[in-house]
Amino acid sequence: MRLTVPVHGFGVESSARSAEAGAKDTDTDTDNDNDTREMPGGPPMTKPITLYYWPTPNGQKISIALEEMGLAYEVEYVNIGAGDQFKADFLKISPNNRMPAIIDPDGPDGAPIPVFESGAILQYLARKTGRFTGKSERQRVAVEEWLMWQMGGLGPMAGQAHHFLVYAPAMDPPHDLPYAKARYRNEVARLYRVLNDRLAENEFVAGDFYSIADIAIWPWAKGWKRQEQTLDDKPHMKRWLEQIAARPAVVRGAALGAERRGNLQDDRKAQAVLFGKPPK
């Protein structure tokens, strides 16, 4: 099915970006032998990828990946506090009403393709470029394991920690729930111990090479303070956080749209959209 890439589809600014510099940043990566590989049957890129985005950890996974891979892209901001994710045009791209999502105009066989779910997008972009997935099947399995660890573990648990530690107590009326706070704080602590142990033996999470697993985990792990965690007993995680944060493409991807992010603790309308009943 061919899709027309929407422009200003959600009544917000669309900004085009060229990630050429991202390719230069990663010339020394251990996994860059196939930088120009195309998707099977697909032509070279002729138009930028459209990224549907809001500056959250999940959104930052994809902005960082696009910067790291040197792929040109344009941004459609999906203001989740205003309910843009429930609009009919966006639901055609992401039926689960969650961002991020992308449309690649140069998809398989040259036809446009929409992709939703951040893990699926990372895997798609890694296949498209041949980068950040490992060079052997053993390495690729490790990347997939740790990507799934983030998708099924750290992301959901850290998200719940954010909710019950930061947002729920600030709601009107407040929802200060000691059991929920302790439950998710403790589970995030356990996950970070797992991550620290892994990084004690490896420079990056999947081995001695930087991968989409690192790209997926870092935006969530950098929020350890808001999750009421400590790095005092996690020196290897601390080293890795600093190492990833120093990458120029990560700096650019994490900064995308940062000025648009409001203070959810004080925004009652956004709280109602995000934490209330979704529109029918």
Whether 74 and 159 map to the same domain: the answer is: no
The answer to whether 205 and 211 have CB atoms below 8 angstroms apart is: yes
Whether 124 and 161 map to the same domain: the answer is: no
Domain-located, residue 43 = yes
| More confident site: 279 or 146 | 146
pLDDT at res. 82 = 87
Lowest mean pLDDT among 142-151, 165-174, 250-259: 165-174
pLDDT at res. 246 = 98
The answer to whether 72 and 129 have CB atoms below 8 angstroms apart is: no
Whether 22 and 120 map to the same domain: the answer is: yes
The answer to whether 132 and 151 have CB atoms below 8 angstroms apart is: no
CB neighbour burial string for 213-249, b if at least 16 within 10 angstroms, e if fewer: bbbbbbbbbbbbeebebebeebebbbebbebbeebeb
pLDDT at res. 264 = 61
Whether 128 and 182 map to the same domain: the answer is: no
Domain holding 28: CATH number?
3.40.30.10
Whether 82 and 113 map to the same domain: the answer is: yes
Averaged pLDDT for residues 112-135: 97
The answer to whether 72 and 161 have CB atoms below 8 angstroms apart is: no
pLDDT at res. 235 = 98
Domain-located, residue 109 = yes
Sheet holding 113-116, edge to edge: 14-17, 73-77, 49-53, 101-104, 113-116
* Strand runs labelled E in the chain: 14-17, 49-53, 73-77, 101-104, 113-116
- pTM reported for the whole predicted model: 0.84
What is the residue range of 239's domain? 137-246
**What is the tens place of the pLDDT at every residue in 20-41?**
444 444 433 444 333 222 333 3
Domain-located, residue 280 = no
pLDDT at res. 168 = 87
Whether 18 and 128 map to the same domain: the answer is: yes
pLDDT score of 15 more than 60: no
Which tokens in the block code for residue 10?
A: 């959600």
Lowest mean pLDDT among 19-28, 91-100, 181-190: 19-28
| More confident site: 174 or 248 | 248
DSSP state of 192: H
Euclidean distance between CA atoms 88 and 279, whole angstroms:
12
Euclidean distance between CA atoms 140 and 11, whole angstroms:
40
The answer to whether 196 and 234 have CB atoms below 8 angstroms apart is: yes
Domain-located, residue 269 = no
Whether 116 and 184 map to the same domain: the answer is: no
Domain holding 153: CATH number?
1.20.1050.10
Contacts (Cβ under 8 Å, ≥6 apart) of 280: none
Euclidean distance between CA atoms 67 and 71, whole angstroms:
7
pLDDT at res. 1 = 27
Final residue in a domain of this structure, among 110, 132, 154 = 132
pLDDT at res. 140 = 98
Domain-located, residue 217 = yes
Averaged pLDDT for residues 173-184: 93
Percent of the chain with pLDDT over 90: 69
Closest by CA to 146, choosing from 250, 48, 216, 99, is 216
Contacts (Cβ under 8 Å, ≥6 apart) of 197: 236
Whether 145 and 117 map to the same domain: the answer is: no
pLDDT at res. 174 = 86
| More confident site: 145 or 11 | 145
Whether 19 and 112 map to the same domain: the answer is: yes
Domain-located, residue 258 = no
Final residue in a domain of this structure, among 77, 98, 132 = 132
Whether 83 and 156 map to the same domain: the answer is: no
Euclidean distance between CA atoms 69 and 23, whole angstroms:
6
Q: Count up the domains in the chain and report the number.
A: 2
Dihedral angle sign, alpha carbons of residues 95, 154, 237, 136: negative
Whether 121 and 100 map to the same domain: the answer is: yes
Amino acid, single-letter form, for residue 257? G
Domain-located, residue 256 = no
**What is the tens place of the pLDDT at every residue in 45-88?**
679 999 999 999 999 999 999 999 999 999 999 998 888 999 99
Final residue in a domain of this structure, among 97, 132, 167 = 132
The answer to whether 58 and 155 have CB atoms below 8 angstroms apart is: yes
Whether 236 and 155 map to the same domain: the answer is: yes
Domain-located, residue 7 = no
**What is the tens place of the pLDDT at every residue in 190-228?**
999 999 999 999 999 999 999 999 999 999 999 999 999
**What is the tens place of the pLDDT at every residue in 234-272?**
999 999 999 999 999 999 999 999 998 777 666 656 666
Q: Phi, psi at residue 28, to the nearest 5°? A: -100, 5
